[in-house]
Amino acid sequence: MKVIKVNNPYYHIVYWIFIICILMFVFGRSWGNKMAAFYFISLLLPVIMATSYFFNYYLVPKFLLQKKYFQFGLYLTYTVVFSLFFEMIVLTFTFTYVLNFHLSKFNPNASDTLLLAVIMYLIVFSGSFILMVKQLNENNREIQDLKENKEKMKRSFIQVISQRKLVRIFHNDITYIESNSDCIKVYSNVQEIISKEKISNIEKKLPDTFLRIHRSFIVNKDKISRFDYNTVEINGIELNIGRTYKKGVMDELKS
């Protein structure tokens, strides 16, 4: 399963500014010293960010989505323990250096470790929820693209000149295309068509259900019955995969 990663830095910036505003609202209203509250949140934020990114971009894709539930539970426990440990360090540092041991200036909510843990993991899981929504949207978009491409395959075609005539060949009928020196041969469910077209020009006209596997072969991926690292099989015919195409072909066929 493909995992969505938000690469736009502006999204992250806006998201964490929003989180800072929420934390300032939670801790700042009852804090006598607003500057001290801001320092406290600034110190606490890296712990929350590290926990959130580690959980959402490492634990979830590496263990939870891979159905490695025991490892996920184990490392999640370690994550909780370490994040609470660093929270206590932040509390101690704030009390010692920011508030100069004046407990009266300390927000009562800030000294509640359980509340801090709840707030932190609410933020972590809110990030997971946002990523899940983006994942669903991306999956729906991919499904829609596949449907549109299927429809395109049903109704679209290429045209080539064969024996001085313009021949229309529907994409869905094509099994594979072979290049032979100065011409190409298009193998389809209906007939075999020879044309003086270049295989590179034909490749540009075809949708992404077609794949170049060799300098001499383009195949319809929907017609492949079997493949390995060296060949693909279509209608009982084995076609060689070119050495320079192998990695791209394997990545495409295994995806």
Q: Which CB contacts under 8 angstroms, 24+ apart, belong to 224-231?
A: 224/253, 227/253
Question: Between residues 249 and 48, which one has the greater pLDDT?
Answer: 249
Given a cut of 90, whether residue 217 has pLDDT beyond it is: yes
Task: With cut-offs at 50, 70 and 90, classify the pLDDT of residue 194.
Answer: very high
Task: With cut-offs at 50, 70 and 90, classify the pLDDT of residue 2.
Answer: very low
Helix 9-28 crosses helix 34-54 at what angle (to 10 degrees)? 130
What integer is the mean pLDDT of 210-217? 95
Given a cut of 90, whether residue 81 has pLDDT beyond it is: no
Given a cut of 50, whether residue 252 has pLDDT beyond it is: yes
- Predicted confidence at residue 7, as pLDDT, reads 59
In this structure, are residues 188 and 175 in contact, taking their beta carbons and an 8 Å threshold? yes
Chain-centre distance for alpha carbon 240: 31
In this structure, are residues 246 and 214 in contact, taking their beta carbons and an 8 Å threshold? no
The three-class DSSP label of residue 240 is strand
Which DSSP state fits 13? H
Spell 77-99 as b/e; 16+ CB within 10 A means b: eebeeebbebbeebbeebbeebb
Q: Which of 12-21, 24-33, 85-94, 104-113 has the lowest mean pLDDT?
A: 104-113
In this structure, are residues 212 and 218 in contact, taking their beta carbons and an 8 Å threshold? yes
- Predicted confidence at residue 62, as pLDDT, reads 86
Please state the pTM of the whole predicted model: 0.44
What integer is the mean pLDDT of 2-21? 72
Which DSSP state fits 3? P
Tell me: the pLDDT tens digits for 91-133? 777 667 655 545 454 555 555 556 666 777 777 777 777 777 7
Question: Between residues 61 and 2, which one has the greater pLDDT?
Answer: 61
Q: What is the residue-averaged pLDDT of the chain? A: 80
pLDDT > 90: percent of the chain = 27
What integer is the mean pLDDT of 152-180? 85
Question: Between residues 95 and 19, which one has the greater pLDDT?
Answer: 19
- Predicted confidence at residue 152, as pLDDT, reads 56
Q: What share of the chain is helix, strand, coil (3-state, %, to 5)?
A: 60, 20, 20
Task: With cut-offs at 50, 70 and 90, classify the pLDDT of residue 215.
Answer: very high
Domain architecture of the chain: domains with CATH: 9-151 (no CATH), 157-254 (2.40.50.1020)
Name residue 157's beta-bridge partners: 170
Spell 192-228 as b/e; 16+ CB within 10 A means b: ebebebebeebeeebeebbbbbbebbbbbbebbeebe
Task: With cut-offs at 50, 70 and 90, classify the pLDDT of residue 211.
Answer: very high
- Predicted confidence at residue 240, as pLDDT, reads 95
Tell me: the pLDDT tens digits for 227-236? 999 999 999 9
Sole residue written with tokens 């801090």: 116
Amino acid at 148: E
- Predicted confidence at residue 31, as pLDDT, reads 58
What integer is the mean pLDDT of 236-254? 93
Task: With cut-offs at 50, 70 and 90, classify the pLDDT of residue 177.
Answer: very high
* Rounded Cα gap, residues 77 and 146, in angstroms: 40
* Rounded Cα gap, residues 231 and 128, in angstroms: 41
